[in-house]
Amino acid sequence: MLVLILAAVIWGLGAVMRTPRSARWIMIGLLLVGVIGIQLVFPEGHPLRAATGGSAALWLIVAGVAGMIWIYSRFIRGLRTRTGVDERLARQPAGRPDSFSETELNRYARHIALREVGGAGQKALKNAKVLVIGAGGLGAPALQYLAAVGVGRIGVIDGDVVENSNLSRQVIHKDAALGMPKVFSAQAEMEAQNPFVDVRPYNRRLDESIAAELFAEYDLVLDGTDNFETRYLVNVTCVTVGIPLVSGALSQWEGQLSVFAPAQGAPCYQCIFPKAPAPNLAPSCAEAGVIGPLPGVVGAMMAVEAVKLITKAGTPLLGQMIIYDALYGESRRIGIKPRADCPICAHVSA
């Protein structure tokens, strides 16, 4: 009690005398050091030692906790400095594109600490607009991670409803969502994960009547569909609008991933797959099957490529394709080039 009273007196007198808070904390720290010194120097049973607790253990714990709080506060202050956000802006609502709230700073601290991302990269993520085609096997993990990393606006278009057969691999959907449109099930989970993102669900199939107008509202498209008709439509629309396409595909134990962006010197999807294969040569996941965790692996990689494109970190998979064989734990990277006679992107210059 004596120590607490002395600390309160120091703080109160400092406030009356308008002493800076930092100076008052320093004086209280010196008081704590003095108390610990008394406990360590004076013999057991000494009146002064008894009056200040009788043991150094309690005050050492207090000093340790205070030290950790100080280190954490300095860390958060450093994050603010790196993001260019001052104390006043940090308290502004999350909706401001040029600032982060205190909660957002804490949430994205691991990103901001990365040299390749930092405050500028996290701001770019917050201001980014990403459209995901399909809320199924590949879309589910991609959507979850795009929301988690703080992409400001995330659109998702899908006309299907959640079915029981989806739940072994489409982990964004829950059993309670059976029969619900996938886009609304995904929206609920994403907003529960991160209330600072703007999720825009489109409960319909993608077709030519809306593709160009919809894509023009976004900076980047992730395609997780499982049919060539939609893939070709997504590709030609991305080329027309001039935005990159992150494309993933699955079959049984194997997944593939690439970034198609003719405006950046990479091929488009139709450069590599000029014609849809015969149905019996490329069965769907429903026909051929797919191992449950594989969509999570490839979908998460799609989200990583999106983050790299938005933040300009590292080297995106432009002109490269990764093929992952989960059954044997092997990955292959192959180079891919634009086709001079491609009817979709031959006219596009990097």
In contact, 130 and 146? CB cutoff 8 Å = yes
Q: How confident is the model at residue 59, as a pLDDT?
A: 66
Q: How confident is the model at residue 281, as a pLDDT?
A: 64
Contact partners, residue 174, CB within 8 Å, separation at least 6: 167, 185, 189
Question: Two tokens at 239?
Answer: 């080329």
In whole angstroms, give the CA distance from residue 46 to residue 41. 10
In whole angstroms, give the CA distance from residue 319 to residue 194. 33
Calculate the alpha carbon distances from 178 to 114, 170, 185, 328 in Å: 39, 12, 9, 34
Contact partners, residue 116, CB within 8 Å, separation at least 6: 311, 313, 314
Q: What angle do CA 307, 310, 315 make, to 5 degrees?
A: 70
Burial (CB < 10 A; 0-12, 13-18, 19+), residue 264, is middle
b/e burial code for range 81-108 (CB count within 10 A of at least 16 → b): eebebeeeebeeebeeeebbbeebbebb
In whole angstroms, give the CA distance from residue 166 to residue 348. 39
Q: How confident is the model at residue 63, as a pLDDT?
A: 75
Among candidates 79, 198, 183, which has minimal Cα distance to 128? Answer: 198
Instruction: Choose the CATH number for 128-335 among 3.40.50.150, 3.40.50.300, 3.40.50.720, 2.60.120.10.
Output: 3.40.50.720
Question: Two tokens at 67?
Answer: 């030290």
Q: Is the dihedral of CA 234, 240, 246, 249 positive or negative?
A: positive
For the chain, the domains span 2-84, 128-335
Q: How confident is the model at residue 11, as a pLDDT?
A: 65
In whole angstroms, give the CA distance from residue 54 to residue 52. 6
pLDDT tens, the chain, 350 aa long: 666 777 677 767 767 777 676 677 777 777 777 777 776 777 777 776 677 666 767 767 777 777 787 787 777 766 655 555 444 444 444 445 667 888 999 999 999 999 999 999 999 999 999 999 999 999 999 999 999 999 999 999 999 999 999 999 999 999 999 999 999 999 999 999 999 999 999 999 999 999 999 999 999 999 999 889 999 999 999 999 999 999 999 989 999 999 999 999 999 999 999 988 776 666 666 677 889 999 999 999 999 999 999 999 999 999 999 999 999 999 999 999 999 999 999 887 65
Q: Which residue has the tokens 């019996």?
A: 280
In contact, 124 and 114? CB cutoff 8 Å = no
In this prediction the pTM is 0.73
**Radius of gyration, alpha carbons of the chain:** 28
Among candidates 249, 197, 200, 183, which has minimal Cα distance to 222? Answer: 249
Q: How confident is the model at residue 170, as a pLDDT?
A: 93
Q: How confident is the model at residue 73, as a pLDDT?
A: 72
Q: What angle do CA 335, 308, 306 make, to 5 degrees?
A: 90
Q: What angle do CA 160, 149, 137 make, to 5 degrees?
A: 25
Among candidates 329, 143, 326, which has minimal Cα distance to 222? Answer: 143
Q: How confident is the model at residue 81, as a pLDDT?
A: 59
